[in-house]
Structure 1
Amino acid sequence: MKKPLIGLSVALLTAGATALAGAPVAIAAPSTGAATAAASTGTVESPQAGQLAAVTFAGTVALSNCSGSLIRFPASTANDPALVLSNGHCLENGMPGAGQVVVNQASSRTFTLLNASGGTAATLRASKLVYGTMTDTDVSIYQLNTTYAAIQSSSGIAPLTVAATHPVQGTSIKVPSGYWKRIYSCSVDGFAYRLKESNWTFKDSLRYTSSCNVIGGTSGSPVVDANSGQVVAVNNTINESGQRCTLNNPCEVDQNGAVTVRRGIGYAQQTYTIPACFTTGNRLDLTKAGCTLPRP
């Protein structure tokens, strides 16, 4: 049985734990005032020009096998049911097949919500899996049995905001893993027209520069724009050994069908298309104008 990302072995996952021990990451405390305003009013506080957002573990979550984040959309309100974002290949029932889309499936999955320093802030519980797929993208979205306001009142943690615009090449990004409590730092190297891994194909995947050498357990981590503090993608895979288009070894395919293999390079799936598929009350509506997520 393989462990995400997408199928890294348990041996590698354990080796990663040894390598990461004793390597803490320096992080800054979040601005609770800005986070509170964002959760309450649906607006987002951005850093001043020339400043980078303080990306910490606050708002990230640890799953049993992956990482994730407590997220909101630009139009979400404090009293909406809260959502958690991770990968489709992190579903508790296993990886969905190519072409499979799961919507509104009952779930009682639990998530460990982290504070800025990586400590446990709360245990969250899902009421359902709102959306999950590995077709075109690699995403899962869970609805919790509580609201953003209730979570912030009890834990002091506000959700991360999912940006509704396409990320830009060269942008500085952070990838905070709730599973490993490690933050990776790199930049957006570019975008893969198609990313093929075994039976799955992802579209317009975000490619990292080499310093984001993600490992098993980081699957589902939010990819945060270090300038805005917003989520622009969800971390999902890396070419582990230089193989071509196999499990753990994704390859890029361009518009003409040419294949490129980039050993040691990681990828994430963009999230800017997701807000267009949700309406009032954080309700999924795949028929909404502008929604391009695959349907069942």
Structure 2
Amino acid sequence: MKLFRTLLAGTTAATVTFFGSLLGTSSAQAAPGADFTGIAALSNCSASLVRYAESVDTDKALVLTNGHCYEGGFLQPGQVLVNKTSTRSITLLKPDSSSAGTIRAEKILFGTMTKTDMIVYQVSETYGAIKSRLNVTPLTLAKQGPADGAGMAVVSGYWKRIYTCSVQATIPQLREGDWTWQNSIKYQQPGCETIGGTSGSPVVSTSTGEVIGVNNTGNEDGERCTLNNPCEVDADGNVTVDQGAAYGQQTWWLYTCLTANRTLDLNKSGCELPKLARRR
């Protein structure tokens, strides 16, 4: 997982740094079809200010990042967070990557590391208020996942760096340690050799400008299905390891759970997101 720094929960908590190989610089790098509009930085990850296609200016704004970027540590397999209070500080960037200012989360609308690797924060201000105060506009979430060969950019607010490439393939299942993700987005290399700190970056279509996924991991050492070394599992159960490969996860499933009032309902018919575990 392309995390810069996190606190892992366990019998003994420990701070672990995930750098990958720190190639390149932290300076802004321009790329066709993408800039830093709507991009955000967290203390340990990248993020983005996002909206649904149906969102309006008076809606409370949303911020997208990875589930493994959660300020409370890695989420357990099967764990789902819904409407959990958060006061996380989020730095928004200008299109040129300089800081526009900060906003603050008020709750986690949805978060998981199961099936996908995603947290959606609701912040204390509306889209209109953020536009007025900071002159920052959100990115729009796409209503479907990307096609193979589609042009894409991974835009990191943490490193203020843009990676461009295309979608190589959709992987039926990606396994890393105890976690499993479905329909993962594999990037065509070279071009998107993401590093630690790029976790949570939006995967942006270079043709539409919409968010088509969220960057989350890569195989660093060629190991099989271990932490920072995800393995690919095809429809027949065959396992493949591709050292140097990088991946993102699906975000369009949010739309399958969206109500007419632009809220998430995990019990909605056809909702593709993981559900809260039932109490026994």
Q: Same fold (TM over 0.5)?
A: yes
Deviation at 1:12, TM superposition (A): 2.8
CA distance in 2, matches of 1:220, 1:190: 20
1:224 aligns with 2:204: yes
Alpha-carbon distance between aligned partners in 1 of 2:149 and 2:18, rounded to the nearest angstrom: 34
Give the deviation of 1:3 after TM superposition. Answer: 7.4
User: What corresponds to 2:9 in structure 1?
Assistant: none
Picking from 207, 210, 213, the partner of 2:186 is: 207
Query: Which residue of structure 2 lines up, in the alignment, with residue 20 of structure 1?
Result: 25
Where structure 2 has 5 or more consecutive residues not aligned to the other structure, the ranges are 7-14
d(CA) in 1 for partners of 2:123, 2:30: 30
Unaligned runs of 5+ in 1: 28-51
3-state secondary structure, aligned to 1:153: helix
Q: Secondary structure at the match of 1:274?
A: helix
1:152 equivalent among 124, 131, 140:
131
Matched, 1:100 2:105: no
Contact 2:218 2:246 in 1 (8 A): yes
Tell me whether 1:111 sits opposite 2:116 in the alignment: no
Residues 69, 249 of structure 1: alpha-carbon distance in 2 compared, 3 angstrom cutoff: same
**TM-score scaled by length of structure 2:** 0.90
Supply the AA of the counterpart residue of 1:103: V
- Mapped pair 1:10 → 2:17: yes
CA distance in 2, matches of 1:9, 1:172: 33
Aligned to 1:186: 165
User: What amino acid sits opposite 2:25 in the alignment?
Assistant: L
Runs (4+) of structure 1 exceeding 3 A deviation are: 5-9
2:10 alignment partner in structure 1: none
| Secondary structure of 1:69's aligned partner | strand
Deviation at 1:25, TM superposition (A): 1.1
- Shifted more, 276-285 versus 159-168: the winner is 276-285
Q: Quick one: distance in 2 between partners of 1:242 and 1:279?
A: 42
Q: Give aligned-pair identity as a percent.
A: 48
> Partners in 1 of 2:223 and 2:201 — Cα distance?
24
> What residue number does 2:248 align with?
268
Q: Residue 43 of structure 2 aligns with which residue?
A: 64
Counterpart CA distance in 2 for 1:195 and 1:138 is 11
Q: After TM superposition, give the deviation of residue 24 of structure 1 in Å.
A: 3.9
Q: TM-score, normalised by structure 1?
A: 0.86
Over 3 Å counting, the alpha-carbon distance change for 1:9 and 1:238 in structure 2 is farther
**Paired residue total:** 267
User: Distance in 2 between the 1:99 and 1:248 partners?
Assistant: 19
Q: Matches of 1:6 and 1:224 in 2, distance apart?
A: 24
**Contact 2:50 2:139 survives alignment (8 Å):** yes
**Matched AA of 2:265:** D
Q: 2:152 aligns with which of 130, 155, 173?
A: 173
1:292 to 265, 272, 275: 272
Counterpart secondary structure, 1:20 = coil
CA-atom RMSD, angstroms? 2.0
Higher helix share: 1
Shift of 1:5: 6.4
1:250 aligned residue: 230
Structure 2 counterpart of 1:4, one-letter code: L
Change (3 A) 1:66 1:11: closer
Contact 1:239 / 1:249 at 8 angstroms: preserved in 2? yes
